[in-house]
Homo-oligomer: A and B are copies of this chain.
Amino acid sequence: MKLLEDRIRRDGRVKAGNVLKVDSFLNHQLDIDLYNEMGKEFRRLFPSDNITKLLTIEASGIGIACIAAQYFHVPVVFAKKSQSINLDGSVYAARVQSFTHGRIYDVIVSEKFLSPADHVLILDDFLANGCAVSGLIELVESAGASIEGVGIAVEKGFQEGGRLLREKGIRVESLAIVESMDADTGEIRFRR
C-alpha cells in the first residue's frame, strides 16, 4: 500500500536492533485518516461476507481494528495480555513470547466472544516473529472458529513470522512489507 510505505519512509525511524519506530502515526500517536485508508484496503483484500469478527490484541491493534470494522460491519474483539479480575467466566488462553518487550505473557479472550460459528479475521499493527499472531490463531482454534486470514499493517519481511504463517496455509496480507532496513543510513526497502 503505497500510502503507508510513503508514510513509513517519511516519518518512520530505523533504530539499532531491527526496531522500526512508527510511533508518530501508527502506534502511539495515531493518524486516523491513514487508519481509514488502511481499513478500506483490508476490506479490499478480504472481501468475504463470511467474516463475523475482527480479532486483535491490545494495545496497538485496537485502533486499527476499530476503524477497519467500519468497512466490515462486524464487531471487534481484542485479546487481553494478562488475566484481569474483571474477566470472569471461562477464557481461551495462549502463551506468547514478546521479543520486543523481552517477556512472556498470556493472551486471553472470553469464551463468550468466540464460537465455532465465527469466521475470524485477525488484524494487528506489526508482524515480526509472528508470536502474537500465533497466539491469536491458537485462541481462534481453541474456540473451534475459522480463520479467514491475517491482516497486518507493517510486516518485517526479514523476520520469519510471515513466512511461517503462509507456509501453514494461512492467508497473510501485509499493507507494507519491509524487506530490509539500515539503522546507520536510515534506508528502508519494501518488498515488491
Contact = CB atoms under 8 A, between A and B. Distances in A.
Interface string A20-35: 0101110011111001
Contact of A62 (B25, B59, B112): B59
A80 B59 contact: yes
Interface in A80-108: 80, 84-88, 100-102
Contacts of A29: 75-77, 110, 112-113
A59 to B, nearest CB: 4
B78 A28 contact: yes
A190 to B, nearest CB: 21
A166 interface: no
Interface string A27-49: 01111100110000000000000
Contact of A75 (B19, B32, B67, B69): B32
A125 to B, nearest CB: 11
A66 B32 CA distance: 7
A85 B101 contact: yes
A113 B21 contact: no
A123 to B, nearest CB: 12
Contact of A63 (B15, B25, B66): B66
Contacts of A180: none
A177 to B, nearest CB: 20
Nearest to A55: B29
Contact of A113 (B28, B67, B77, B101): B28
B78 A112 contact: no
A62 to B, nearest CB: 4
In the A-B complex, the 10 residue pairs with the closest CB atoms = A58-B59, A63-B66, A30-B76, A32-B69, A62-B62, A29-B113, A59-B59, A29-B77, A62-B63, A66-B66
